[in-house]
Amino acid sequence: MKTLDVVSKLSVVMIVFLLATGVNRLLSIDKKVTNFYTYKNIKINLNQVKSLRLRVDYIITYKEDDSKDIFHKYSTALNEQEIKNISTFLEEAKNSEYYSVEITTYMLFDTQKIELFHSPRYLKLPNKYSVNTKLLRELQSYGIDNFQYQNLLKLKDKIYTDRVKFYEDVISFAKLKNSPWVKKNIINLGVDANTALFMAHIESKDRENLMSEDAFKESVSELMSAYEVYEAIE
């Protein structure tokens, strides 16, 4: 009787062990099957990923930048502190006389890049031009005579907010021909050094796309959302 009891107990223990092992295996299999990151049509098995990084690339440039920072592209890890930094830069840009803003967030699963957010390019163009000392000096070097110079002085320091009108008046008062040099340089000579650097990156086909308050909030929200996605996976 005792022998039967021992056998019976051993049988129960064995059954419990087998059931537990089976459950653990099922859970393990389920984990392996379901531990995926899915984005759009991309599916990544996280069990095979050795390195996961969250990154942000951005160009946020505006009038108050130092010359070395004009259109400088930043690429760095995206974390809470960087979100605060970028939010500050966006606020300053939004309130500046001119700016260019573009932001991309992405995750790197080892070397595989998954883009989470790519903002539109927000662009506000400079809108203040004048016949300044620099422009007069460059035109003298270009070869205008005293009559042309004195005539152009009539416009000295007048502020224009229409670049086409500014260009046309300079051409008219200085009696200039539409040479390649004139077309390339007059507008840039009508602004300060930083603005000229900014405009050197702007093509004639580029059109303004102002960053509204809603666009500002959306950009910050997308940065936070990317960080939350990353934190959830980590």
Domain regions of the chain by residue span? 2-34, 48-125+211-233, 133-190
Q: Which residues contact 194 (CB under 8 A, 6 or more apart)?
A: 63, 65, 67, 70
Q: Are 36 and 71 in contact (CB under 8 A)?
A: no
Sign (positive or negative) of CA dihedral 145, 148, 149, 150: positive
Supply the pTM of this predicted model: 0.74
Compute the 3-state secondary structure of the chain and give helix, strand, coil in percent, each to the nearest 5. Answer: 55, 20, 25
pLDDT in tens, the chain (234 residues): 444 453 454 354 444 443 444 444 434 334 444 587 887 777 888 889 899 999 999 999 999 999 999 999 999 999 999 999 999 999 999 999 999 999 999 999 999 999 999 999 999 999 999 999 999 999 999 999 999 999 999 999 899 998 899 999 999 999 999 899 998 899 989 999 899 999 989 887 899 999 999 999 999 999 999 999 999 887
Q: Are 64 and 115 in contact (CB under 8 A)?
A: no
